[in-house]
A = this chain, B = another copy of it.
Amino acid sequence: MPEINHRILLRSRPSGIPEPDNFVADSVPARAPATDEVLLETIFLSIDPAMRSWMREGSGYQPTVPLGSVMRGGGIARVLETRTDGYRRGDLVQARLGWQTHPTLPARYLQRIDLSRGDALAWIGPLGLSAVTAYFGMRDVGAVKPGYRVLVSGAAGGVGQIAAQIARIEACHVVGIAGGAEKCAFLSDELCLDGAINYKAEQDLVAAIGRVCPDGIDLYFDNVGGPTLDAALMHLRTGGRVVLCGRISQVATDPLYGIRNLGQILTRSGQMHGFQVFRYHDRYEEARAWLAVRHREGRLHQRLHILKGLDQAPGAIGMLFRGENNGKLIVQVSNPEPGAH
């Protein structure tokens, strides 16, 4: 008897923050694999800010998801049936699965998971694409050096918490910005950062950063943009660098916040670098090798915020933009232990 493929389709395009009614669920029979194809069972789906741009205007390098088609999304899956020599039933893979329980995909779209590096949870977490993004953003784009004074915004989020820990591993003085006392306690107590700023509790963010970073900032790793970026610029040290990794405060905002303190880049002989992780595609293996070693040594953690069930996905993207996630946000679609569902 064939499996049922439960799917979530894009119904309408969001104007602001994506909401559940932008999606509609359906169920179809899972499609048996053709030659060189594989039938999969989705385990985890990653929920990321870039998904909003896929729903809307594309992001320059990703086409917009067509209305009425399965929502795009990457994750981890288990092989159920194959018609290829490359995979066997039970293998774990990562792929752009889409929001569906039982995708059937060409084998060439899959990447096998190396379990010697970590299990399925590690591969969606500290070895996943958010962690790989943090790796290149902090090390290549940010050119982090021992002793740097580093500030990370969105520091409890998927990319931010890894970026902050990489800076710690590189012997930097690291301060994180997050929204809420609980997230800040996580930064101080679990990630052992040197300081944490709850931006929601601060009237004057420029002053707040000044108190926690009295010697200024050599490297600001920005995941949020807007007023937080503007405040951080006021503390840039001479020759300091800003890495623009994300701008979650600004992607569903109209009008956009205007940055007034760019003059600091000029007077401080500073630099600002934007980047897209896909440009490092041919070096993901290097990043995962580095991350896996630190993860195994217990020096790198990824707090995951796990929503259970595919039906949670439509409400998940909006949680990112409202700061409601506590850690990297994922949807668990089936049990990671085979046969346990």
A107: B residues at CB distance < 8 A: none
Is A271 part of the contact surface with B, judged by Cβ < 8 Å? yes
Is A225 part of the contact surface with B, judged by Cβ < 8 Å? yes
A271 lies within 8 A of B269 (CB): no
B60 lies within 8 A of A267 (CB): yes
Is A279 part of the contact surface with B, judged by Cβ < 8 Å? yes
Chain A contributes a number of interface residues (CB within 8 A of B) equal to 32
Is A34 part of the contact surface with B, judged by Cβ < 8 Å? no
Q: Given A225-B263, A263-B250, is A275 in contact with B279 using a C-beta cutoff of 8 Å?
A: no
Partner-binding segment picked from A195-203, A253-261, A294-302: A253-261
A273: B residues at CB distance < 8 A: 265, 270-272
Is A117 part of the contact surface with B, judged by Cβ < 8 Å? no
B274 lies within 8 A of A279 (CB): no
Binding site for B on A (CB under 8 A): 59-60, 225, 229, 244-247, 250, 255-276, 279
Given contacts A247-B263, A255-B260, A269-B275, 17 further A-B contacts (CB under 8 A): A60-B267, A229-B262, A247-B266, A256-B260, A256-B263, A257-B258, A258-B258, A258-B260, A259-B259, A262-B272, A264-B274, A266-B275, A267-B276, A269-B274, A271-B271, A271-B273, A271-B274
